[in-house]
Amino acid sequence: MPTDANAGKPYYRPEDISGIDYATDLNDPGAYPYTRGRRTQPRHDANSWILRELSGEGSPAHSNRQFRDLIARGAVGLDVIGDAPSVGCLDPDHPFARAAVGTQGVSICRLQDFIELYEGIPLDRITLSHSLPSWFTVACLYLLARNHEVAPGALRGSVIQAPLYGEDYCYAVHMPVELRLRLTLDSIEFCTREMPRFHSFVEDTYFVSDGGPDVVDEMALGFVEIRKVVRELMKRGLNIDSFGPRIAILVNCRMGFFEEIAKIRASRRIFARMMREEFGAKDSRSWSANITAHTAGSALTAQQPANNVVRGAVQAVALALAGVQAMEISTFDEAYRTPSREAHLLALRTQQIVGLETDCSKVADPLGGSYYVESLTNKVERRIADRIHEIEALGDPVDLSNRGYFRRLLEQAMITRAAEIQNGSVAKVGVNVCQIPEEEDTMLREVVETKIEPCLDHIERIREFKRTRDQARVRSTLTEIRSRAADPKESLIVPAISALAADATIGEISGAMRMAYGMRYDPLSGTPAPF
Amino acid sequence: MEAEARNGKRVRVLIAILGLDQHETGALAVSAMLRDAGVEVIYLGRFASPESVAAAAVEESADVVGISCHSWEYIHYLDDLLRALERGGERIPLMIGGSVISPSDKARLLEKGVSAVFGAGTSSDDIVATVRKLAGAFGS
């Protein structure tokens, strides 16, 4: 167990939950404070939750084929991840991108890429989730909907927001925290008006905790960020109920089976009370958190990769019992690569077996009332609440970010997690217990070790595109972005939409924004601004 | 116990991640483990290039350079990095580690001139001992 939440007792008894008042602390599923879930009635069918798998690889056209394959096999949502350059707001022709274009996600830097990515995908039926910079995703989807003659208001899906922690941990976009937060607020505000069905505010506690923070810090960091963003949006004059129903939390699910379930139940209760009591939300849809989950990639091992199939199944059962709105299983080849076709199929089938063959989702919150689970839910809730208070007492999260507080916290957590495996205090089958000699570790090897080559022809395509577009128009929209970004009162989404429509790219628009904040256009390799 | 290089000074290791790979757990964990063993670690971190690694290695008088990888980007940078680490007829020893490295990758890397390769599940004792050995041999 990564935390001591389970420590202490050999079993639990009625007195362990004697303080619980059913009506105020639990209540029925679908009722405040939503501890037992959002829905009154579970759906014991292929739609128990949104089945999706992380996807995106190579060029947009190649990823499109991957998407069609997943949909044909039963996925009802897509979760698109950009490659390393795209998530870092860099174009494929950036000097650092050459080795990474399309290898860990889809290469996507312009409107045309979005058009190719979603070619033939029914935008009003499939939910589109994105691990990509939010302002870019929102602006491109808005234009794409128009291109497909779908009203932007009909688009469903989501995009992750990572304003406070992304730079310190896995999603650096080489921008200051003030700009990152502004882009988060701008994109949510824009969607509240123009794309009201789209979840523009996914608090992603998955990425911030995978391989690092435990369940308590995962959720405390998540809530600190949610609370900061909510307060800032309210300062802008937005009514909490205009965006509250579209907040989702994308959580991690490690191997601490009951602890993860307790975490999800506790988080729903914290969220409901926070939204109603503290922020004054009146609409009941603002009180019940949308919880989606990824199973922990860091729980998976490079050794004996077939074991990861089992880990994914155990985690999927935990998530089904906790009751989540969408699920995604990190695939068995995770330690080596983004999902192969074989791994995608197994992950989808795992979800389908749990959803359709077992009775895990036959009733809502089947573990509700368990002495252990309720006691653990209380304990985890208390610890998360204490930790939120502790962090917020240290100062404004933007200042904490600038002072390196989050970076130090995340660094220390990564070191601690790795040490637990090294010193054997946390058992990891195939790694520190139950090992087999390397030469016997052959099952599924050929799949996991197949490498994805960088998509060099896509780099050439983008170079050619940049050579042949209307340069004057690109320069003028980038100049406009820089001047709008220099005025903190301006929203950046509409200018970004104009720039993308004028064939400017994610790297160029980001560079123009950076310059307005006193940074270099290209902080990594010093390429001069093209305008 | 402090790890000593051949010249009697504390062993200095530069740790970096090449390109756009943003997974840092391995790099940070190895840095912490080396520090615990008395090695001086210069943590260059993410977004390094062969040139920035080599420049920092010289500037910091590193005895060993360690590259952590969670993507295949290192393959693309390897030849340039090996070249950049050459100084006056010898090369600063290079070690590469990461769970993405398979046994067949390991053989290829050693053949190219990488001094040590650590795949998934390497023990901290192995890593510390290798660093000491490489640092002791370098500069002799």
Contact B124 A422 (CB under 8 A): yes
Interface membership of B99 toward A (CB under 8 Å): yes
Q: Residue A422 and residue B28: Cβ atoms within 8 Å?
A: no
- In sequence order, which residues have a C-beta less than 8 Å from that of residue B109 and are 6 or more positions away? B78, B96, B101, B117
- A100–B26: do the CB atoms touch at under 8 Å? no
For an interface test with B, the pick among A104, A416, A435 (most B C-beta atoms closer than 10 Å) comes out as A104
CB contact under 8 A, A84 and B33: no
Mutation to test the A interface, candidates B17, B22, B74, most A Cβ within 10 Å: B22
Contacts of B102 in chain A (CB under 8 A): 336, 445, 449
pLDDT classification of A42: cutoffs 50, 70, 90: low
Which residues of chain A form CATH 3.20.20.240?
A: 27-422
Query: How do residues A199-238 score in pLDDT, each as one tens digit?
Result: 999 999 999 999 899 999 999 999 999 999 999 999 999 9
Residue B120 pLDDT > 70: yes
B32 interaction partners in chain A (CB closer than 8 Å): 415, 418-419
Q: What does pLDDT average to over chain A?
A: 94
Out of A150-164, A471-485, B116-130, the most confident range is A471-485
Dump the DSSP string for A227-291: HHHHHHHHHTT--HHHHGGGEEEEEEE-S-HHHHHHHHHHHHHHHHHIIIIIT---SHHHHSPEE
Residue of B15, B17, B18, B20 to mutate when probing chain A, most A C-beta within 10 A = B20
Which among A175, A184, A98 is positioned nearest to A135, based on CA atoms? A184
pLDDT at residue A446, rounded to an integer: 86
Q: Is the Cα torsion angle A444, A170, A123, A457 positive or negative in sign?
A: negative
Over the stretch B52-107, which tens digit does the pLDDT of each residue have? Answer: 999 999 999 999 999 999 999 999 999 999 999 998 889 999 999 998 998 889 99
For an interface test with A, the pick among B21, B24, B25 (most A C-beta atoms closer than 10 Å) comes out as B25
| Chain A residue at shortest CA distance from B21 | A84
Per-residue 3-state assignment (H helix, E strand, C coil) for chain B: CCCECCCCCECEEEEEEECCCCCCHHHHHHHHHHHHCCCEEEEEEEEECHHHHHHHHHHCCCCEEEEECCCCHHHHHHHHHHHHCEECCEECCEEEECCCCCHHHHHHHHHHCCCEEECCCCCHHHHHHHHHHHHHHCCC
Asked if the Cβ–Cβ distance from A303 to B49 is below 8 Å, we say no
- CB contact (8 A) between residue B25 and residue A171: no
pLDDT tops 60 at residue A175: yes
Q: Is the pLDDT of residue A3 over 60?
A: no
Would you state the pLDDT for residue B32? Answer: 96
Of B25, B103, B124, the CB nearest to A414: B25
- Please state the rounded mean pLDDT for residues A159-165: 96
The reply to whether B104 touches chain A by the CB within 8 Å rule is yes
- Of all residues in chain A, the one with the smallest CA distance to B120 is A302
Interface mutation target, options A415, A431, A449, A455, chain B, most CBs of B under 10 Å:
A415
Q: How many CB pairs under 8 A join A and B?
A: 96
> Does B8 have pLDDT greater than 80?
no
What is the distance between the alpha carbons of residues B133 and B127, in angstroms, rounded to a whole number? 10
| CA pair distance B88, B86, nearest whole angstrom | 7
Domains in chain B, CATH or no CATH each: 18-90+124-140 (3.40.50.280)
pLDDT band, residue A1 (cuts 50/70/90): very low
Cβ atoms of residues A55 and A81 within 8 Å: yes
Kindly state whether B55 is in contact with chain A, defined as any CB-CB distance less than 8 angstroms.
Answer: no
pLDDT at A2: 45
Q: Chain A residue closest to B76 (CA)?
A: A99
pLDDT tens by residue, A102-128: 999 999 999 999 999 999 998 878 889
> Under an 8 A CB cutoff, do A84 and B71 touch?
yes
pLDDT of A269 > 70? The answer is yes
- Cross-chain Cβ contact B19/A96 below 8 Å: yes
Question: The domain A27-422: what is its CATH number?
Answer: 3.20.20.240
Residue with the bigger pLDDT between A46 and A521: it is: A521
Q: What is the per-residue pLDDT for A46?
A: 61
- pLDDT for A6 beyond 60: no
> In this predicted structure, what is the pLDDT of residue A211?
85
A→B contacts (Cβ < 8 Å), by residue, are 84-85, 87-88, 90, 96-100, 103-104, 169-172, 211-212, 298, 301-303, 335-337, 411, 414-415, 417-419, 422, 431, 435, 438, 445, 449, 451-452, 454, 524-525
Q: Which residues of A touch B50 (CB under 8 A)?
A: none
pLDDT bucket at A384, cuts 50 / 70 / 90 = very high
Prediction ipTM score: 0.92
Q: Taking residues A510-526, report their average pLDDT.
A: 95
What is residue A103's three-state secondary structure? coil
Among chain B residues, CA nearest to A336? B100
Q: How far is B50 from chain A (nearest CA, A)?
A: 11
